[in-house]
Structure 1
């Protein structure tokens, strides 16, 4: 054990994958690490307090093999490939009480990317072997799969990184190439901020979308070096043909891939520091709670903060697929209200927000959440009328009213089970809007004091 500890302490302090082997050279376990040195050393420290399964595995380890990677993202992908190919004994034992996560790509003219459970993929395969069909709720009839991955959180974080590069869609719309009405469809927030090429709105040729998705598949399958070589050649070809805009798109993708290691740790790469809910389950339950036909992909929430009427500010937070989307957060310094009037302040913030969305022809949120009761809700609806827009589903939620849910168009508030995942998601959006407003208010107060 001391020899293994000594070897572990000599490992590089870089991302990578490690393989634990027994005396016969059989791989017992495959793992990934942000720092090979720190992670592998932790197994062999005399003071280490492992759970029984890990302790049993460590007792059998006679050799360690490591593979250095350029980034944590590369390590995540390499770990998944090795586990699938080798199927080590102690990786399999981890699955006794849970199902690993698998990445799926639908088989559509414009495929979308989604996450599912390995258990559901195996159910599909068993049904197919019997000549039957099994499709988990909310998933496409046909799809290809990559994985499994041991960490669903890190996989979600990696997908956010890759979506910035390859701009694939994650919505489940049925997109038909021959549908001429697509060009009149208003794409969602992800198109506005450059994370999707919006095939739903006919913003990208099918061939270009297929090329981006093909590059994403190759990246996920470990062909990074070959992919970069081909992309650089394509960039040069576009440049030689004076197709400078296309060359710039490929150039930016190459740069992003080559600089993956500059992204934050995968554990922190999600849009928030801590996501206390299951995003998929919460959004599905919210659809049922609000009686919606489709899943509410984009939720925005707003709140007002002031101190005795001074430095009044407004906040707007954005959640996409149940997860905070910090790029969509906005701050508002109240300009038209010079006294304590939350209704007037809400009215200003909502009017400014929807006037801008209207002028930019940007997508409206599926749900607009106001931190407040019926009066605040009515103020928000009045603001949308002033902006000349048809309001999305607008709701109010206030702590001092017992967390009742006021829904536009209903005379009485909803009183859902406080533990419902969908309701807890709304509470999370409201609390995040409150936190963000307070944070901005404190910034302005400190600035005023310094002046």
Structure 2
């Protein structure tokens, strides 16, 4: 293998914990393996443990040159996308299905008195109903496992069923009602079969509505055990309900999303043909930092479709940002390729989910690229040159203040080194005994607490101290350092500037009157913005946690637009706060009276900690 060895440690620091698909490539860019995971970070970390890998997996890991990820809404979508990619690319380390004829089905022996559910491959000779096809046997086993836990329909073979004299283990662990020994009536069992069929037919919403009504009726009749059983069934269905957003019946679409952050831009392209996602790819064009996503797309699209490569042009291109040049680009594509194309921005349904997935992946890929250890090393070297330092700094500390109208003020301290964020050294400080909203006093208190301990020998002294704020915060920091007789520390103030846009920051070096101007494309400025944004995020998170403890209210009570009636409806729809917390924003939006925007607010509030 040639080229730079794959840096697994740096990659795992930046990879997301969301569900999705990962693709492993060798040093020459050849696809080796496609996999899916409910938690990408945990799954990918398992490949790089020190021991316990099978010989095949160890051989795969030894060939890895880089890894790409695609985030999905849930693991079911990841599974469908994984199978699409395997079928198209046929990676050498994947187990490949030969053709569609070998795809498995769920089989229901509907003519029996006590029908059974099972996995079926091959010709459909047996009498009964077949549901599918499914992309893999694993997908069927997930569905069968859910149905077994939820509705307790038997899955044993007929020969085993007919020869039972007493209930088997499945009955003991509450995954079967033991029809083999007559522990359940045919009528009750038929109802469980009917519910299973509703789920397999994709009528999950109607099924959960029916179960919810039955649960309320049981509760009103004081049948609390029955109500609890129905509540558990509703919870199981909510948890794994398939949203079916990766495949539709038709549509040839490219979904193009741009993300811009201090330090670079990423354009993520998803190809959809005949309604099936075939794959996606990240592109990292070199752009000035002040460009918007719309401007990046306007520069990228003509090069992508009119460049040297003869790319297939779909009838529709979905973008995440608009630009005045899109109409001109559409005309140019029609003239050059003889095929008209439509640019769409405001889309709904499945297309909106594709668009959101592209945006999420563009943002994640860009964040991963910017967090790369080699990039950070280059930025530290650029910072040394920009500040005129004799040696490259190895430890940067940045401080920020967060509060809501003076309530629950929290200060953050984040630390960066040449290897990236040093999260074990992050600290939060609860600010006490100051006037509400006095950021200067808060900055004075946190720096005094921090550097008093440093002067006494606790912790490590930073090479550069960054303060998020203008001249006032800078002056306060200087006073603390002078009071503690700390003179050999570089002090850097970071103010947002007049326009308050990224790339337009005003920097103060060691003195409020000594302004430092760095160009928007400077790697040193990108490093400063990175650590400043991280300090801001860390402070806000700590403030929200402290504010939540102070208010001591229900998680739902603090959400604008969620009053007592909506809280009751949400908890009834999901069967409790625990299931609501497990739901995605898209699943919350399906609840009665909940818009997509409100669902996003509820999801954010429930996961803000």
- TM-score band by shorter chain is 0.3 to 0.5
TM-score by length of 1: 0.42
**Structure number with higher helix proportion:** 1
State the structure with bigger RCO (CA 8 A, min sep 6), 1 or 2: 1
TM-score by length of 2: 0.32
Over alpha carbons, which structure has the higher Rg?
2
